[in-house]
Amino acid sequence: MTAVARPLRVSRWVGGPLVAALAVSLLLAAPIRLVGLPLPEPVTLMVPAFAWAMIRPAASPALALLLGGLVLDAIWGAPAGLWAISLLAAYLPILALRNILAGQSPVVLWFWYGLACLLAQSVGWLITAWISGAPPSLVAAGLQWLATVLLFPVAALLIEHFRDADVRFR
């Protein structure tokens, strides 16, 4: 049976994941404590950023990351542009490597997702250290990275859901 390409609608491919990631970020930013600990704050926009870079390059995902990053800055009280720059810094290398990464095993993709998360976190950490004049906590950044890396299965599901729209996966 041959796979039939489904046309991608920007509202489904970009809008849905963007709104979902921002809604989860807003929920996790709520002042709720479980067992005395705050909720984790993964960079949920890394999930669609990785999937968008893997499936289909276009201007709309980059614009969505810019706008979504600015919303994350507002939610977390970060300097305007910090997460937009950080997310785009992780998105662009994956976009450049997408032909090499296409068809790789989930373990390999998880590794590259982890590297992309590390790059985004590192850029955010460096910008924050530069602006504030003091380095942020490496432990906090590491925990945020770990929480974000653990979201890879959601990115894999998003890639799988939209893979028919990309001829490289057929």
- The pTM is what? 0.88
- What is the average pLDDT across 45-53? 94
Bridge-partner residues for 37, per DSSP?
Answer: 34
- What is the average pLDDT across 2-14? 65
Is residue 145 over pLDDT 70? yes
Helix (H, G, I), strand (E, B) or coil at 33: strand
For 162, other C-beta atoms within 10 Å of its C-beta total: 20
- The whole-number pLDDT of residue 3 equals 53
The pLDDT tens digits of the residues spanning 70-108 come to: 999 999 999 999 999 999 999 999 999 999 998 899 999
- The whole-number pLDDT of residue 48 equals 94
